[in-house]
Chain A
Amino acid sequence: MSAELAGLRLANPVINGSGTFDAIAAQSAFGEGLLEAFPFAAYVSKTITLRAREGNPPPRLWEAPAGLVNSIGLPNKGLEGYLREDLPELAAICARARAAGAASAGVPLITNVMGSSSGELEQLVRACEERPEVAAVELNVSCPNVETGLDIGADPEQLQAVVGAVRGCTRKPLIVKLTPNTADVARCALAAEAAGADAVSLINTLRASALSPSRRLGSGEPWLGGGSGGLSGPTIRSVALAQVAAVAEAVAIPVVGMGGVQSAAHARDLLDAGATVVAVGTESFRDPSTGWRVAREITASSGA
């Protein structure tokens, strides 16, 4: 069961959620085994920012009921470091990766970028436009605007302005990763579409927090070093289904659906709710080959 996402031809409809699978680390942990049964039909990088980030102080994780709260803080080498070191390495992995159902090796590489202003995002996207290894760009808009303090992706007007500005910087497919932490996700999706997005992806993590078990009674001391975090895993699956359905109903562009996918049945739910492609995220932490298994099962069940 092949799929097409904003002009990218995929061997199957399963990709990864940004920041949930480090292909460079996975190759060092598993070697060639990773490439022979590559779990995704396209690979989405973790979020790249203009300047390098070390990420948040630990602790960064909190196990929730059937889920995970994380506060990682987007550690990355910055645009320059990514272009010089990680991008060539990721491109080499993607070129040799064989996805489920693929006749030959090679999966498209999607670079995810985040900026706190239009100007930053334009710079990031222009850099991606110049690199042939990048097949498409995904915008992480779950970031406060430095000028307004509002999450760029939470406000339709602001989102439309930012996506419109970035649109002019690339002819590559542009995917907007929507935030679920907004009053009306369908309006945000429409704003992204109106500004020229080729696809939208959702849901990102739900804002969440946890208090320190060893805190002084009466204090609200957080457990996570970053203060608060984002919730993912099976516990958000039904939220994802509702938001994907609402967005797919509203827009004509393709939708990448994700949130708590553990099996082909969960992926099928999102596809039936209107998603064109699904992404596996947190479940890859429990079993790195989840994407491969889901892709094979969904291909078998669709009879293609």
Chain B
Amino acid sequence: MSDTPFQRRRLRVSGCEELGAYRVLRVEGPCGPAPAPGQFAMIAAVERWGGGSDERPYLPRAFSVARCRDGEWHFLLEDVGPGTRRLSELREGDGLWALGPLGRGFQPPPPGCRAILVGGGVGIAPLAILQDTLAAPASVLLGFRDRARAHGASLLTDARVASDDGSVGHHGPVTELLAAELDREPEAIVYACGPAAMLEAVRALCLAADIPAQLALEAGMACGFGACYGCVVPKLGGGYLRVCLDGPVIEAKQLGALCAPVEGRAG
């Protein structure tokens, strides 16, 4: 049974540092129970949440916890819309509303099975906290659009990087690295988070190779706790799953094709 507090809590921003094209937002305070890798929180600035572009944001934004360390929660931000812009502006001492931890996280790898972590862009966040908890070394494959975003790879250790523009690491999608890795490591389990197109490629690859995969999904979400029914993704065989309640980590074999726009409107 969950012991997540039944109310949003006011936390204190302890830092919001640049990491290439991203920022790492750190908060402290009554964070609540420690999040399991893959769990998320609904977050919003206490001050000036609203009044940005298009008189938004209004709703809180769903963020995977990227790291939980020394009484702090870390979130990885990319400024892509009025909500993420406001969050990126936060500085030490500012207030942050947080509800969570929420959702189902990653399940640990079965004994003797090598974990392969596959991340794309800002979606690498839950893989960092996952790597922190893994008992055995994992293969880490991270894809980014360009060099500025590839700085995010420093959140994880021993990452092999791919970039869309070829400015760093392998020139091409990270799923090409994954395909090669699966050829070498047939006794593997894949943990992935990233844009819908990347996750769909991971899903198809792992299904074809009969390799278990746990996908951390993103979806436009109003509440984060199953109330709004807004964040659905297609279930294999018909119907929908709620990303917030049934996920955000869902086994690939439970899912139908992840077609855009799964990620929703820029937050």
Could you tell me which A residues sit within 8 Å of B by CB distance?
Answer: 19-22, 24-26, 28-34, 36-37, 54-55, 58-68, 70, 72, 75, 213, 223, 233-234, 282, 284-289, 292
Could you tell me which B residues sit within 8 Å of A by CB distance?
Answer: 1-8, 44, 50, 54-60, 97, 99, 102, 219-233, 238-240, 242, 245, 261-262, 264-265
Closest to B42 in A: A286
Is there an interface contact between A61 and B220, defined as CB atoms closer than 8 Å? yes
Chain A residues, CB < 8 A from B231: 58, 60-61
Is there an interface contact between B232 and A58, defined as CB atoms closer than 8 Å? yes
Chain A residues, CB < 8 A from B219: 58
Cα distance, A19 to B227, chains bound together (Å)? 7
Is there an interface contact between B2 and A55, defined as CB atoms closer than 8 Å? no
Nearest 9 interchain pairs by C-beta: A25-B226, A65-B55, A33-B6, A289-B7, A285-B223, A61-B230, A29-B225, A30-B6, A31-B2
Cα distance, A31 to B5, chains bound together (Å)? 9
Cross-interface CB contact of A33 among B3, B54, B224, B239, cutoff 8 Å: B3
Cα distance, A25 to B224, chains bound together (Å)? 10
Is there an interface contact between B2 and A28, defined as CB atoms closer than 8 Å? yes
Q: Known contacts A31-B2, A66-B55; is A284 also within 8 Å of B240 by CB?
A: no
Distance of B102 from chain A, by nearest CB (Å): 6
Q: Known contacts A28-B2, A29-B4, A30-B2; is A60 also within 8 Å of B229 by CB?
A: yes
Cα distance, A285 to B262, chains bound together (Å)? 20
Q: Known contacts A59-B265, A60-B229, A66-B58; is A288 also within 8 Å of B4 by CB?
A: no
Is there an interface contact between A55 and B226, defined as CB atoms closer than 8 Å? no
Chain A residues, CB < 8 A from B222: 61, 68, 70, 282, 285
Most chain B CB inside 10 Å of its own CB: which residue of A20, A59, A66: A59
Cross-interface CB contact of B5 among A33, A233, A292, cutoff 8 Å: A33
Chain A residues, CB < 8 A from B99: 287-288
Is there an interface contact between A63 and B8, defined as CB atoms closer than 8 Å? no
Cα distance, A196 to B184, chains bound together (Å)? 72
Closest to B261 in A: A59
14 sampled A-B residue pairs with Cβ under 8 A:
A22-B229, A28-B2, A29-B4, A29-B102, A30-B5, A32-B1, A66-B50, A284-B223, A284-B227, A286-B60, A287-B8, A287-B99, A288-B8, A288-B227
Is there an interface contact between A55 and B229, defined as CB atoms closer than 8 Å? yes
Chain A residues, CB < 8 A from B238: 54
Chain A residues, CB < 8 A from B230: 58, 60-61, 70, 72
Closest to B59 in A: A63
Chain B residues, CB < 8 A from A30: 2, 4-6, 225
Cross-interface CB contact of B227 among A25, A59, A63, A66, cutoff 8 Å: A25
Is there an interface contact between A65 and B225, defined as CB atoms closer than 8 Å? no
Cα distance, A34 to B2, chains bound together (Å)? 10
Chain A residues, CB < 8 A from B6: 26, 30, 33-34, 36-37, 288-289
Closest to A235 in B: B58
Cα distance, A177 to B57, chains bound together (Å)? 29
Chain B residues, CB < 8 A from A33: 3-6
Chain A residues, CB < 8 A from B242: 25
Is there an interface contact between B225 and A288, defined as CB atoms closer than 8 Å? yes
Cα distance, A288 to B225, chains bound together (Å)? 9
Cα distance, A58 to B3, chains bound together (Å)? 30
Closest to B7 in A: A289
* 13 extra interface residue pairs, beta carbon distance < 8 Å, beyond A22-B229, A30-B4: A20-B227, A20-B228, A26-B225, A28-B245, A31-B4, A54-B238, A58-B231, A61-B264, A62-B265, A65-B55, A70-B228, A72-B229, A285-B223
Distance of B2 from chain A, by nearest CB (Å): 4
Closest to B235 in A: A54
Cross-interface CB contact of A75 among B54, B57, B223, B240, cutoff 8 Å: B240
Chain A residues, CB < 8 A from B220: 58-61
Chain B residues, CB < 8 A from A26: 6, 225-227
Cα distance, A275 to B59, chains bound together (Å)? 27
Closest to A214 in B: B261
